[in-house]
Chain A
Amino acid sequence: MLERLSRQFGVLSAGVIVFAAALFVLPGEAQHEQLGQAKPPQVARMLASMPAPLSERAQDAVAESCYRSLRSTYFAALDTPRRQQVLDTCEAAMSDLTGNVPTHGAAGLVLAQIGVITGSATAGALLEESARVSPNSTWLRLRRLDISRASEALPDDAALLMTRDINDLLATPAGQQGLARRYLADTAFAQKLLAVVDTAPAPVQKAFVDAIRLAEGAE
C-alpha cells in the first residue's frame, strides 16, 4: 500500500508529465479526478486552469490534492519559487472554496496548514477556525494534529488546540487508533501524547494501550 501511494505521488516520470500535459486538453470537470496523481507544481498548474464553479466532489478533490501536496517529500525538497507557487495556488483555491462554502472543513484545514508551513501569525486562529467548522470529524482532527505536530514552532493557541484534539480523539475507537499509529511513528509526539493520556480516566488509558497493541500487530 505504501509503495503504491508513494508511487502515485512521489515519483516524477515521463508518463506523469505526459499525462499531466494531457489533462489540459480534458474538460475541466474531469481534471479533478487526476489531481491526486500529480506532483505539486502540476497540481498548481491544474488548479490554475480549473473552471469555476467546481462541483462538490471536485472541491473535495482539490482540497485533498493540496493537503497531500503540502505534506509530500517532493514539496519539502522543492526549490523556493516552485514551492511558493504551490503555496500561492493552493491558498487561492482554498480561499475560493471557503469563500463559497464557509463550512468546507478540508479547505479550511489546508489554509491552516499553509499558515503553519509559512509560519503565519494567524496559523493558530486558522487551526481553531478549522476545528470550529468541523467539530465532529475524526479524520480532520487527526489531520489537524499532523499539521501541528509537524510544526517546529507551534503557536501557544495551536498547542492548546492540539491537547484538546488529543482528548477528543481519545474518546472514540477511531480516534484512539489514529493516535496509536502516530504514537508508534513519531517518538517526539509520543511524549506529548503520553502527557495528555496520563490525565485521562483509567478506562480511556486502557483503551489507548489496547489500540497501541492493535497498531503494533498491524505493522
Chain B
Amino acid sequence: MRGRIFVFALTAALAFPANALESPGIDPTTADALETVCHAVRDAQIQDDSSLDGRCVGGTGGFLGGVMQTAPDTIEPVVADVTTRLALLVEEEVKCKLVETEIPQAIRLASTYSKDPEQVERIIRIAETIEACQLGATQAIDLSALREIASDTGA
C-alpha cells in the first residue's frame, strides 16, 4: 500500500510539475511562473503571513540561475523583464506596506545576474526607490507616470 502511494505521488509530481508555490524546492522555469510566486508571496507578506517567506527571492535566484545556464547571452533583457515584473507588483494602493515585502530584495538579487554594471546600478536604484516608498518620484518607477498619463490625456 505504501509503495502504491509512493508511486502515485511520484506520478503526480511528474505529471503536474513545477507548482513552485506548493513546492519550494522547484524553481520557476518561466518569468510568468516567477511572477505568480512573487505575487503570492507579496499578498501573504502584506497580511503578515510568513509562510511563503523566501520563495520570491529564492524563485528569482532559481529562475535567473537557470537562464544563466541555458541562455546566458539573453540574461540582461531577462533581468530587465524580471525587474519590471517585480516592480509592477508594488502597487501604490497599498501604500508603503509593500516595501516591507521581499520584492525589493528579489529585485536586488536579479540585478546581480547582469554583467552590465550600469544596468546593475539602475536596477538597484529601482529597489531603493521602492524601499524608500518614493514610487512617484523618479523615472526609475513609472507606476505613477502611467496613472498620470491616463489622467492627463483623459484615458
Contacts and interface: CB of A to CB of B under 8 A. Distances in A.
A binds B: yes
Contact of B135 (A83, A178, A185): A185
A68 to B, nearest CB: 7
A30 interface: no
B87 interface: yes
Contacts of B31: 12
A73 B83 contact: yes
B interface SS class:
helix
Chain A interface, DSSP helix/strand/loop, else mixed: helix
Interface in A73-89: 73-74, 76-83
Contacts, number: 134
B148 A181 contact: yes
A182 B146 contact: no
Interface string B110-132: 00001010110011011000000
A178 B138 contact: no
A178 B84 contact: no
A186 B139 contact: no
A72 B136 contact: no
Contact of A71 (B145, B151, B153): B145
B134 to A, nearest CB: 7
A173 to B, nearest CB: 13
B137 interface: yes
Contacts of A184: 136
A76 B126 contact: yes
B103 to A, nearest CB: 13
B77 A82 contact: yes
Interface of B: 31-32, 35, 76-77, 79-81, 83-85, 87-88, 91-93, 114, 116, 118-119, 122-123, 125-126, 134-153, 155
9 contacts: A1-B155, A76-B141, A76-B142, A78-B76, A80-B116, A81-B116, A149-B137, A150-B137, A178-B151
Interface of A: 1-3, 5-6, 9-13, 41, 68, 71-74, 76-83, 117, 138-139, 142-143, 146, 149-152, 177-178, 181-182, 184-189, 219
